Amino acid sequence: MSKLWGGRFSKETSEQVDAFNASIGFDCRLWEQDIRGSIAHARMLGLSGIIPSADADKIVKGLEEISRDIKSGKVEFDISAEDIHMNIEKLLHQKIGDVAGRLHTARSRNDQVALDLRMYVKEQIRKITEEIEALQETLVKTAEQHIHTLMPSYTHLQHAQPITLAHHLLAYVWMLQRDRGRLSDCLVRTDVMPLGSGAVAGTSFPIDRYLVAEQLDFPRISENSMDAVSDRDFAIEFLSAGAILGMHLSRFAEELIIWNTKEFGYIELDDSMATGSSLMPQKKNPDIAELIRGKCGRLYGNLVTMLTVMKGLPLAYNKDLQEDKEPVFDTVDTLLQCLGVLRALIECTEFRVERMKESLTGDFSTATDLADALVRKGVPFRSAHETAGRIVAYCIENKRTLEDLSSEELEKFAPELGQGASLDPASSVEARDIPGSTSPGRIQEQISAAYRIIHS
């Protein structure tokens, strides 16, 4: 096949160059966006009188037929046509003849690919956001079942203070809400229509860019043609938001992996969401969570790839930008897969309530409550902290727990306590009754707030 740009050349490109230069193997995913953009462009050309309206109608009809053919699996893309844009144009020429050549009037592949990628990212942001919302809802529903389920919180992976499982799960709801916010912000900067920028300097034809933007549901058009064809900030921002989202999913996956160990025993994975060992018959492995944790590395890599591709590019378009699509496609696929499978994993995981509660026994996680009780008696916090530390040291030395110390024993260290302090985990949780804390009443407030933001 002769190249659509071949007029200047006296030799055919080598097969090696064709194979290296072609992007149809991956940018075929943009066929729907490419056709929609071309239909809008053709209609505008006809309405603006740049091409005959009859030709515009013929082009639109041909593109709609190609769309149906691709959906029904009748189309095999051609590597010699390089990319999705030239493949569609070739197919259009086969359907309607030389009239197809009018479609590319006042357009370049440079602004065409910028349009296609923006449309694709817009659509995927909405899909990913829906999956985030579904995961948030699963977490909130699970939290509702565990408002009174006691467990230790951790700092430095050491027992810190008693909390509820609901409080722990809801922490991820707010992380995911920030992810939604980042994607929403990214959408604002993605939602700019670049078509009409041409190859670099715009076009001399009297096109109506606002009409095209309206047809394609873009609220605004790009301001500078050189920036429009070479800008991939929106893709970098999307990959950055995706990497942060992946980090949050990886953190939760890591906790599920730890909680699934015999040493912790906080959860029991459903058989349908675990795998076994080819050698050790007893094994039940958290492979799903491990893969989510591992795939976070891909998301980081995609962001670094795109930043590196862009770091030294002079204005305006350069072929390096062909490398923008695979990182975006991979991040979309990875996020949608991870979000869906993590939600399914949570929905069928058994949280071992009694084991969580038992792990609080003798762990000294109410030592802060002891210090707080002394503060309420007028002791400065630093002195109270030191006294509570000495009581913990006494317990460790004598193999005792805070909970089973008598009032008399406590008074030896801190006469100010009088009748002692309530040092059981349930009381500790109940005492934390300020907004954002772990007491059951405040957890209920969090749950209500979470449902509002999920459905807003």
Annotated catalytic residues are 156, 277
Beta strands at 267-268 and 350-351: parallel, antiparallel or unpaired: antiparallel
Q: Which residues of 418-430 are buried (b: 16+ CB within 10 A; e: fewer)?
A: eebbebebeebbb
Question: Would you say the C-alpha torsion 283, 287, 293, 294 has a positive or negative sign?
Answer: positive
